[in-house]
Amino acid sequence: MASEDLYETEYEIGQDNIQKFGMDVHNPVFLISAALVLIFVVGTLLVPDWAQSVFQSARGWSISNFDWLFLGAGNIFVIFCLVLILLPLGKIRIGGQDAKPEFSTVSWFAMLFAAGMG
């Protein structure tokens, strides 16, 4: 058996997908995801007191054990943005060299401020 035979298949990507209501759904992935979400939501609605205690303890545990990760990720992101500003990569225009921005700098600031506050 040649090594080329190992890679030959008649399977086409998406051939088992279900196409209804204008969506292209990969059935196994959708069913597993939908079942997990449904179990989570129904379980939370049926026993809200227990769910609240579980969520609070999980939040407390994650904050106490991964606070360094949250702070580190935020700091690394800020440093990454500063490096992009200082490097020539920060001068690249999205949309091409002659692209004009759709919104002014003040408009961008207002939108970002509103999104952060909202």
Residue 104 lies in a domain: no
Residue 108 lies in a domain: no
Q: Residue 84 belongs to what domain range?
A: 18-91
Residue 74 lies in a domain: yes
Q: Give the tens place of pLDDT for each residue, 58-103.
A: 999 999 999 999 999 999 999 999 999 999 888 888 888 888 889 9
* pLDDT for 16: 73
Residue 52 lies in a domain: yes
Residue 110 lies in a domain: no
Residue 60 lies in a domain: yes
Contact present, 36 and 42 (Cβ < 8 Å)? no
Residue 55 lies in a domain: yes
How many H-runs (helices) and E-runs (strands) does the chain carry?
3, 2
Residue 53 lies in a domain: yes
The total number of structural domains that make up the chain: 1
What's CA 3's distance to the chain center, in Å? 38
What are the two backbone dihedrals, phi and then psi, of residue 19, each rounded to the nearest 5 degrees?
-115, 100
Asked whether residue 2 carries a pLDDT value surpassing 70, the answer given is no
Q: Give the tens place of pLDDT for each residue, 11-38.
A: 777 777 887 888 788 888 888 999 999 9
Who's near 43: CB < 8 A, 6+ residues apart? 51
Q: Give the integer Cα–Cα distance in Å for 69 and 76.
A: 10
**Helix then strand then coil, % of the chain, to nearest 5:** 70, 5, 25
